[in-house]
Structure 1
C-alpha cells in the first residue's frame, strides 16, 4: 500500500513541490507567485485552512492561503506568530540551501538562453527530489567551495593571449 504524501511531509523531508522558473531573477517573488498556476488556482479555488496554508515573507501580500509575518507586532500573540512563522519558513530556506549546494549552477547566474536555464532549474529540482527520496547525503560546505582566486588587475592590451599570460604568471609560476 502506498501512502499519500502531503505537502507538509514533503517539506519535512526536503522535497521541492513546485517550480516556476520562467521569470528572470529581477521579477518580484509576489508577482511570480500571483501569476503562477498555483497562485491562480489558490486565488480562484481556495476554500479554507483545511486545504493547507502557504507561508511567505513580508514581500508578499497576506492572503487567506498565504500567511505573512506581522510587520509591526502589536501584542505577544503576534510576536509568537512571527517567531513560529520564521522558524517554519527557515525549513523551506534550508531546503533551498541544500538544493543550491547540491547543484552549484543554481548559486549564480545561469548564462544560457532563458528556455534552457528554465529546463536546467527544473531538472535540478527533479534530481534533488530523487536524491532526497534515495536518502543521498547532503553536500557539506559550499559544494567543494568553488572559491575563485582574486586575479590582480590587468592593465594592458585586451587580448586573450596577454590576459592568459597574466593569469599564468600570477597563479601558475
Structure 2
C-alpha cells in the first residue's frame, strides 16, 4: 500500500512539474518573440546591386571606383585566374569586400555583419583578393616610356629643357602598427609609427615604381639606394631622369633643385624669379608637384593608408602595394571621379617641405649632373629673358 501511495505522489509531482515547465516555456515565448526570418542571400545581393547599379557617385563612395573600373578589374582578375569564384562567393563579391575594407579601413567583423558573412570568411577572401591584386603589379606598375611626356612636350616652359625627364620621385609615410620592441625604428618625423614608402610617378599620375616596408626613421636617400640595389628593382632608362627633392642630391638619374634658393611655388606668388637658379627651381617645383598629387589622390581614395592598421606588418606592406596597383588600374580606365577632383583641390604642395639630410647628402654632388643642371638652367634663363623682352 505504501509503495502504491509513493508512486502516486511521484506521478502527481511529475505531472505538476511538466505543467510548470510548459507554462514557463509559454511565458518565455510571449516575452521573447522570435526575430523575423531574414534571407541573407537576398539581402546581400540587394546591397551589392545597390552599389553596382545605383548612381556612380554612390558606387565611388562605397568601393572607391566607378562601376566600369570595378567590372574591368574583376574581368582582369578572373581572366588571369588570379581569383576564382567559389560555391560560396562569386568574384564580384570577393573584390567588393576587399575594396570596401581598404577604401574605408573597416574591420572584418563590421564588413561581415553588413554582408552576412562570418569574420573568418571575410578574412579568408581578403587574403585571396590581396594575393590576386599583387599578381598584377608587373602588368600595371611599369617603367615609363622613353618618349618625352606630353605634359613636357606640349609646354613652352618645359620643352626642350626637360625633355628627358620621365617623372618625379619621393617618399611618403604611411601609418604602421609594429611590435613595441621595434617601434623606435619606425618613429620618423611624423607622429606615431610609420613605414617609409618610396614611389616614382609619371606625369599622368601613374606609379612606375613602389617600394614599401622601410621603417619611418629611414632617410629617403637610403631607401632609394636600396631600391637601386635590389635584383630587378628600380632602374632609370639611359639618358633619362626623375625629378627629386634636395634630400636626394643631384646624382645620376635624379635631378634635384638648387639648395639655398627659392623653390616652393608659394615663394614666387608675389615676386617673379630674379635669376636663372630661381627660374629653374620654380619650373622644377611646378613639375614635381605631380608626386604630391599622386600621394594625395592615393591616400584620399584608400583610407586604410591614413589609419591605424589592424593586421600584421607583412600584410600592411602588401596592402600599400595593392593600393598602388588598383590606383594605376583606375587611372588607366576612368580616373575622372569626385575623389580625384577633391584630392587635387586639397593637395597643396606649395608650402614649405621639411627636408632632412644624411651624411651622404653633404658629399659633393655629381659633377656631371651638376653641369647638366647648370646647362638646363642657363638655357631656361636665356629663353625666359628673350621671351619677356
Q: TM-score, normalised by structure 2?
A: 0.31
CA distance 1:42–1:18, shift in 2 (3 Å): closer
Q: Equivalent residue for 1:69?
A: 257
Given candidates 288, 295, 318, the residue that maps to 1:96 is: 295
Residue 6, structure 1, aligned to residue 145, structure 2: yes
1:24 maps onto 2:163 in alignment = no
The yes-or-no answer on 1:125 pairing with 2:324 is yes
Whose RCO is larger (CA < 8 A, sep 6+)?
A: 1
**Contact 2:298–2:327 (Cα < 8 Å) also in 1:** yes
Partner deviation per Cα, 1:26-67 (whole Å, 9 max, x = no partner):
221111011113789899x8785x3x1111112112103111
The alignment of Structure 1 onto Structure 2 pairs a total of residues equal to 136
The alpha-carbon deviation at position 17 of structure 1 amounts to 0.9
Question: When you count helix as a share of all residues, which structure comes out higher?
Answer: 2
Structure 2 gaps, min length 5: 1-142, 151-200, 263-273, 344-389
Q: Which runs of 4+ in 1 moved over 6 A?
A: 38-43
How far, CA to CA, are the matches of 1:38 and 1:107 in structure 2?
A: 29
Please tell me whether residue 134 in structure 1 is matched to residue 134 in structure 2. no
Q: C-alpha distance in 2, partners of 1:108/1:119?
A: 15
Separation in 1, partners of 2:215, 2:323: 17
Cα pair 2:241 2:254 within 8 Å, conserved: yes
Q: Unaligned 5+ residue runs, structure 1?
A: 143-173
Cα distance change on mapping 1:70 and 1:108 into 2, 3 Å = farther
Q: SS in structure 2 opposite 1:83?
A: helix
User: Higher strand proportion, which one?
Assistant: 2
Q: What SS class does the counterpart of residue 127 from structure 1 fall into? A: helix
Pairing 1:112–2:303 present: no
Q: C-alpha separation between the residues in 1 aligned to 2:230 and 2:286?
A: 23
Output the CA distance in 1 between the equivalents of 2:257 and 2:144: 27
Contact 2:144 2:208 in 1 (8 A): no
Retained in 1: the 8 A contact 2:246–2:259? Answer: yes
Question: What's 2:243 paired with?
Answer: 55
Rg (Cα) greater in structure? 2
